[in-house]
Chain A
Amino acid sequence: MADASQVDALYQEIILDHYKQKHGSGLRDPFESEVHHVNPTCGDEVTLRVHLDAGTVSDVSYDAVGCSISQASASVLNDLVVGKPVDDAFATLDAFQALMQGKGEVEPDEDVLEDGIAFAGVAQFPARVKCALLSWMAFKDATSQALSTQEDA
């Protein structure tokens, strides 16, 4: 199911650029929650911290080991959600998840996903969707935890 042209669609320049030059990589303080997610099939791992400030995602910092797709997607996540209100960040997450799980039939909205549209080709590779979603799911988990501890406080 994967000849050379599909592989090129998977490994877009943008993805390889993010992979080589990750945005926002490394773990930073302050943060309200930290999570560790793994992809049990291939062993990709991410430790991810979220810092919220008055309803805005003011930092997402992470330490990730894994393939180019999982690393690049963490970098794009950082670009897309940092500085956004939590609701907007979650809307972006929904759009990215819909694209990944859309089996190639979802048309990505560049205004929402920016560099994230480069991941459209990933949707054709079921085994790689989990790689692309790893850090996004970690972000969702960490943010939900941060929100609920804030409510408790």
Chain B
Amino acid sequence: MTSYDVEAVRKDFPILERTLAGDHPLVYLDSANTSHKPRQVVEAIEQHYLQHNANVARAMHQLGAEASEAFELGRTKVAGFIGAGRREEVVFTKNASEALNLVARVLGDAGTVGEGDEVVISEMEHHSNIVPWQLLTERTGATLRWFGVTDQGRLDLDDLDTLVTERTKVVSLTWVSNMLGTINPVERVIARAHEVGALVVIDGSQAVPQIPVDVSSLGADFVAFTGHKMVGPTGIGVLWGRYDLLASLPPFLGGGEMIETVTMERSTFAAPPHRFEAGTPPIAQSVGLGAAVDYLSALGMENVAAHEQAITAYALERMQEVDGLTVVGPREAVQRGGAISFTLDDVHPHDVAQLLDSRGVAVRAGHHCAKPAHQRFGVQSTTRASFYLYTTEAEIDALVEAIRHTQQYFGGR
């Protein structure tokens, strides 16, 4: 971690200098929920609105041309960042949830998934990668099947060959779990799925922000992710898809911008990506996301990943020194991302989060939109601390200290 200067990085994030009630400095450990935004991203969005604002594609004036160019430049930057073969493979949505719904919807409409077919997901998915597939399989008469999770919080691939079979049409899997922190061996699953001719959707919402991603060599058919977790703005998500596949699929939503021509009898549709982008798109958000990937690239995703790994290892070690604290998920920093969910004996997560907040430590408590994963471990909810490129060891120390305070507060009174 020689080249990575976390203190210098923090200077780009003014919000990290805030103090909260009781004069406690903010210790933000909720980046898996949403990350903070560096000055560079906010300024790019501000410049766009203040100097280049117009609608895209349909405006014939100079500002319209500037806005269109800025919007499409965001797409080019994102395509480069994830190693897409063509920039037209990047479809903008409003978030990862919409991207996953888009795939599930159009695969059903295209008849790719029908009665008697199977879709396979895992027990550790975020609800955004569960519900769209439940809706699809209910609508089409297909069956939804699930990968299990081991006691160690790893994806259980023992039954890979019996779960993913000739009947499987789609496998949709998270790359990095937002609750357990597990980094899944997606390549193995992709290889098996392609052996039987199934399509693979990867939920990259937690992966793209923290590990280097190259979709061209990954081998998946679709990858979904969301701007706000990768130092970008809210209101923009990405569906990357293989171009030939996107080109063969019907539209998602209907409206302006997604058509080739419209008559009263029928419409024909634009080529990807615009076919899937009905209406005024997230223009300033594309500019912001472009600035975000520039920011990440300047830091270097290898460095971001190494920092995440180091801080997670430190946190796992420090947190597990606390008696009565149980990590739910992998306990060593191997194939593991920077989200650590835990329980504390005799204190409910909601109360833990409240006490930590009174010390300025911001974490998340609840089911983290992963109820099946909580059920798997027999817990109703957990507290989750999650880290990112600006997290310091001193912040982990503050977390551990606040956890001990919480135990005293509820145990000692």
Contact = CB atoms under 8 A, between A and B. Distances in A.
B358 interface: yes
Contact of A3 (B22, B349, B371, B410): B22
B348 A68 contact: yes
Interface string A38-67: 000111110000000000000000000111
Nearest to B347: A68
A2 B354 contact: yes
Given A2-B21, A42-B366, A67 B358 contact: no
Contacts of A128: 350, 354
A16 interface: yes
Interface in B362-413: 365-367, 371, 374, 380-381, 409-410, 413
15 contacts: A2-B358, A3-B21, A3-B22, A4-B22, A7-B354, A11-B351, A41-B366, A42-B350, A42-B367, A66-B348, A66-B380, A68-B351, A71-B348, A128-B354, A131-B350
B357 interface: yes
Interface residues of A, number: 24
B171 interface: no
Interface in A4-23: 4, 6-7, 10-11, 13, 16
Given A67-B350, A69-B350, A43 B358 contact: no
B291 interface: no
Contact of A66 (B22, B350, B357): B350
B358 A6 contact: yes
Nearest 8 interchain pairs by C-beta: A3-B22, A67-B350, A67-B348, A3-B21, A7-B358, A42-B366, A43-B367, A43-B381
Contacts of B21: 1-3, 6
B358 A3 contact: yes
Interface residues of B, number: 21
Contacts, number: 57
Contacts of A69: 350-351
Contact of A43 (B24, B354, B355, B380): B380
B351 A4 contact: no
Nearest to A3: B22
Interface of B: 21-22, 24, 348-351, 354-355, 357-358, 365-367, 371, 374, 380-381, 409-410, 413
B151 to A, nearest CB: 22
A64 B410 CA distance: 19
Contacts of A42: 349-350, 365-367, 381
A31 interface: no
Secondary structure dominating the interface of B: helix
Nearest to B346: A20
A3 B350 CA distance: 16
Given A43-B381, A67-B348, A16 B357 contact: no
Contact of B380 (A41, A65, A125): A65
B355 A7 contact: yes
Contact of A44 (B22, B350, B371, B409): B350
Contact of B413 (A13, A43, A45): A13
A48 B355 CA distance: 29
A36 to B, nearest CB: 14
A44 B367 CA distance: 10
Nearest to B367: A43
Contact of B354 (A3, A16, A44, A125): A125
Given A2-B358, A16-B410, A41-B366, 5 more contacts: A2-B21, A11-B351, A44-B350, A67-B348, A68-B348
